[in-house]
Amino acid sequence: MSYKNFTLETDGDGIAVITWDMPEKSLNVIDLTVMDELDAIIDQVAQDDTVTGAVIHSGKSAFSGGADLTMMEGLLKDFHVKRGADPEGAAKMLYEGSRRLTLIYRKLETCGKPFVAAIAGTCMGGGTELALACHARVADEGLKMGLPEVKVGLFPGAGGTQRVMRMTDGQQGMQFLLQGRTLRAPQALQMKLVNEVTGTRKLVGAAKKLLKSGVDPVKDWDKKGYKLPNGKIYSPAGFQFWPAANAIYRRETYDNYPGARYLLSAVVEGLQLPMDLALQVESRYFAKVLQTPEAANMIRSLFVSMQELNKLARRPVDQRPNKIKKVGILGAGFMGAGIAYVSANAGIDVVLIDRDQEAADKGKAHSDELMSKAIKRGRAIEDQKNKLLARITPTTDYEALADCDLVIEAVFEDREIKRTVTQAAEAVMKSRAIFASNTSTLPITSLAQASKRPKNFVGIHFFSPVDKMMLVEVILGKRTSDRALAMALDYIKAIKKTPIVVNDSRGFYTSRVVMTYIREGLMMLGDGVPAAMIENAGKMAGMPVGPLSLGDEVALDLAWKIVSATRKDLGVKYVEGPLDNILEDMVVKRERFGRKNGKGFYDYKGKDKKLWPGLTDVTGQPKPADSFNIEELKQRLLVMQALETARIFEEQCLTDVREADVGSILGFGFAPYTGGTLSYIDMMGTPAFVDICKKFTRKWGPRFKPNKLLRDMAKANETFYGKFPPKAGDTAKEAA
Ligand code: NAD
């Protein structure tokens, strides 16, 4: 029999070697054809008397990226179409469709012949679940094994929850499942999720050897008298473990993620049942999760849209691809040093310029530190560090920029300094090279006035810390050309980050929305809400940190500078509020600038921090916590950010709903379970959102007034995704 995605060859010892190598794909994924073929292959192996066992491995450098979630999206769409006329039939279709992979893996597990997975490199989601269904696993040293489904609002629904918890330590297993963490080879070995680790080239040989030494084709849990490795749920040990697991789940998720909630239910209920029934329980919860708006939104934003943006959906189609060999970075400070690292890490040569050699060297030392840490954690080797460092040339000499394809400026946030370095760099740069600014607030069009070639001038806005934050915001000035945009996007792709493209305005998208979150926290302080309650409201709403904490991170003196500048710009029109007094008192009178000088709304001691007890001297005694409704506080924090996003969308600074959503989650951690700022509005519906805005305007002031676009959409009951459906391959200019 021949297959599209697999080949099967049986050797002289009767071992069938199944090679998974999908044509026209760089990574093996599980789609409908893979499922059909795998199903047939298992039958073939089971029925062929000459075959004694099978090895399954990948013909590519990685084992598998997991299930193709667009398939899930399709399944869900069918479900919603069918649900109106036949709710029961639709639910059955979803359940059966979503558990097909479970049944195929279970058939593999119980077919009577031993299967060994030989896993090279990345092995994710459904790929990991396939490996776990096999009777043994051999991995190479580059293994990256994970079940990241919770990160897109789901959970591992093809046996993953049941097998992991029957194979490994309870605590480690729950953490692995709930956090969607990636395991390297030594951890996977220690957790008994793989049996053996070897070199990549020896993988198939090692798997065969294992088979020849005898691999039991019947799993322990399918034998009589099986005992769970961590004991029964209802046992003294279980009573110690499970209530704590539930508490940790709540601490980590604030019960915002149905995927994590049902994962825990599937594990607790499944562990009390034999495997076939346990898998049924898992499948039922999986079908239930699939139907939640949170899962649909997270799949759309964090999988589908993110993939499209990573494939540069917004790249102008008529531009030739750019190969970026060398970048120049002006300013080797906090950001410049980080940009140098991510560029060199992508194999790009870097010229790192600062005012003096010492500052430039210090910028390079940051890469040294990051690589040394990676080596310590077993994530890199000395040779990689040496190669990466050799790519970075720290200097004060602008002549070194002569052969750069792209120069990124990250000097102080000061117009005059930015103008000077722009001109100094342009004097030596190739005429076709692109100049980018990493400014966080200054409009690109105005900075481009310093340039002789404003068409070649673009904003590339990184987030800190650069090595960890996955988003990069590209800003188009009025005269930025498609070629400059294409270069910026090609560079972002090369450094493996996710780009969004926005039009020019003060604060662009992300910085502007972040400031509204911090501002709302300060307004709450002014309203007499206890500081701890504000911080908890932020976290309970799904934000990574509370607004006061974020204010400290961004720096209160910076916020004060922005407020003062706005006040100066608006003159008599400026309406002073409690926020001004609090900021002025904190910054001017008490020099509490935030984390950077160890004192802000919090007091900092190394990595520890606690709310500053003297805050009441600034704000006055807060009102009792029970005079505020926590649900309303949570909503205030999210609604303010979503509303600001809708305004930015109306102003056409943002032009693509995918970018609004993905940008909000990756850029400032907007409650991921909502799918992002605009999905949050769509999820409740524009009429309901506008009603809340109106209610908050009456209660808390005109900053909550809904904009015209929102009011019009609410009248027509329209959604953002319905009214502005994203088109793959849009060029930024068309969309703008
Ligand atoms: P920083 O103060 O850490 O670094 C600035 C560097 O620029 C310093 O090393 C300084 O010596 C150097 N510099 C100043 N004048 C120079 C000149 N004439 N020639 C060469 N080098 C010069 O500041 P940062 O936090 O890295 O910010 C840099 C830029 O990035 C700013 O525009 C800032 O708004 C933006 N930004 C910052 C963040 C952040 O979180 N810090 C995030 C996004 C963007």
Residue 567 backbone dihedrals phi, psi, to 5 degrees: -60, -40
The H or E element containing residue 197 is strand 196-198
Question: What mean pLDDT do residues 368-384 have?
Answer: 93
- Enter the DSSP assignment of 19: E
**Which residue carries 């307004």 as its tokens?**
523
Distance 366 CA to ligand 1 centre (A): 15
Cα separation, 675 vs 313, in Å, equals: 19
pLDDT at 728: 59
Residue 701 Ramachandran class (φ > 0 left, ψ -120 to 50 alpha, else beta)? left
Distance 387 CA to ligand 1 centre (A): 26
State the sign of the Cα–Cα–Cα–Cα dihedral 352, 355, 360, 366: negative
Cβ atoms of residues 642 and 651 within 8 Å? no
- How many other C-beta atoms lie within 10 A of the C-beta of residue 86? 11
pLDDT at 319: 96
pLDDT at 735: 29
Can you say how many angstroms the Cα of residue 659 is from the centroid of all Cα atoms in its chain? 13
- Pocket probe for ligand 1: among 356, 396, 412, 554, the residue whose CB has the most ligand atoms within 8 Å is 412
Structure tokens at 678: 């605009």
Q: 267: closest CA among 305, 241, 293, 296? A: 241
- Residue identifier of the C-alpha nearest atom 35 of ligand 1: 439
- Tens of pLDDT, residues 588-642: 999 999 998 999 999 999 889 999 999 999 999 999 999 999 999 999 999 999 9
Confidence of residue 74 (pLDDT cuts 50, 70, 90): confident
**pLDDT above 80: residue 567:** no
Ligand 1 atom with the smallest distance to the CA of 554 is 40
46: helix, strand or coil = helix
Ligand 1 atom with the smallest distance to the CA of 420 is 18
Cα separation, 332 vs 338, in Å, equals: 8
Cα separation, 736 vs 728, in Å, equals: 15
Question: What mean pLDDT do residues 338-363 have?
Answer: 98
116: helix, strand or coil = strand
Question: What mean pLDDT do residues 26-32 have?
Answer: 95
Cα separation, 518 vs 583, in Å, equals: 12
Cβ atoms of residues 723 and 713 within 8 Å? yes
Distance 412 CA to ligand 1 centre (A): 4
**pLDDT above 80: residue 576:** no
Cα separation, 608 vs 99, in Å, equals: 46
pLDDT at 731: 39
**pLDDT above 60: residue 736:** no
- Tens of pLDDT, residues 498-527: 999 999 987 899 999 999 999 999 999 999
Structure tokens at 609: 């921090």
pLDDT at 733: 36
Distance 466 CA to ligand 1 centre (A): 13
**Residue 619, Cβ density class (10 Å: 0-12 exposed, 13-18 middle, ≥19 buried):** buried
pLDDT at 732: 38
Distance 408 CA to ligand 1 centre (A): 11
In 398-555, which ranges are continuous DSSP H helix? 415-426, 444-447, 482-494, 510-527, 531-540, 547-554
Question: What mean pLDDT do residues 119-130 have?
Answer: 98
Residue 28 backbone dihedrals phi, psi, to 5 degrees: -70, 130
Confidence of residue 718 (pLDDT cuts 50, 70, 90): very high
Amino acid (1-letter code) at residue 3? Y
- Residue identifier of the C-alpha nearest atom 14 of ligand 1: 411
**pLDDT above 90: residue 379:** no
Question: What mean pLDDT do residues 654-676 have?
Answer: 97
Q: 180: closest CA among 149, 145, 159? A: 149
**pLDDT above 80: residue 484:** yes
- How many other C-beta atoms lie within 10 A of the C-beta of residue 230? 19
Confidence of residue 383 (pLDDT cuts 50, 70, 90): very high
Distances (CA, A) of 530 to 153, 523, 554, 595: 32, 12, 21, 20
**pLDDT above 80: residue 51:** yes
- Tens of pLDDT, residues 187-215: 999 999 999 999 999 999 999 999 999 99
**What pTM value is reported for the model?**
0.91
Cα separation, 490 vs 311, in Å, equals: 10
Question: What mean pLDDT do residues 34-60 have?
Answer: 97
Cβ atoms of residues 149 and 125 within 8 Å? yes
Distance 392 CA to ligand 1 centre (A): 18
Cα separation, 66 vs 143, in Å, equals: 14
Cβ atoms of residues 64 and 127 within 8 Å? yes
Cβ atoms of residues 101 and 114 within 8 Å? no
Residue 697 backbone dihedrals phi, psi, to 5 degrees: -65, -45
- Tens of pLDDT, residues 227-240: 999 999 999 999 99
Where does ligand 1 bind, in terms of residues with CB under 6 Å? 330-336, 353-355, 359, 410-413, 417, 420-421, 438-440, 461-462, 464
Cα separation, 96 vs 88, in Å, equals: 12
- How many other C-beta atoms lie within 10 A of the C-beta of residue 333? 15
- Pocket probe for ligand 1: among 440, 446, 461, the residue whose CB has the most ligand atoms within 8 Å is 440
Look over the chain and give the mean of its residue pLDDT values, rounded to a whole number: 94
pLDDT at 734: 32
**pLDDT above 50: residue 266:** yes
- Pocket probe for ligand 1: among 341, 353, 354, the residue whose CB has the most ligand atoms within 8 Å is 354
Pairing type for strands 29-30 and 15-20 reads unpaired
Cα separation, 136 vs 729, in Å, equals: 43
- Residue identifier of the C-alpha nearest atom 20 of ligand 1: 354
Ligand 1 atom with the smallest distance to the CA of 332 is 9
Query: 556-564, long-range: CB within 8 Å, 24+ apart, which pairs?
Result: 556/583, 556/586, 556/587, 556/592, 556/593, 556/594, 556/600, 556/601, 557/587, 557/593, 557/594, 559/515, 559/518, 559/583, 560/584, 560/586, 560/587, 560/588, 562/441, 562/515
Cα separation, 2 vs 44, in Å, equals: 11
Lowest mean pLDDT among 84-88, 99-103, 402-406, 622-626: 84-88
Confidence of residue 70 (pLDDT cuts 50, 70, 90): confident
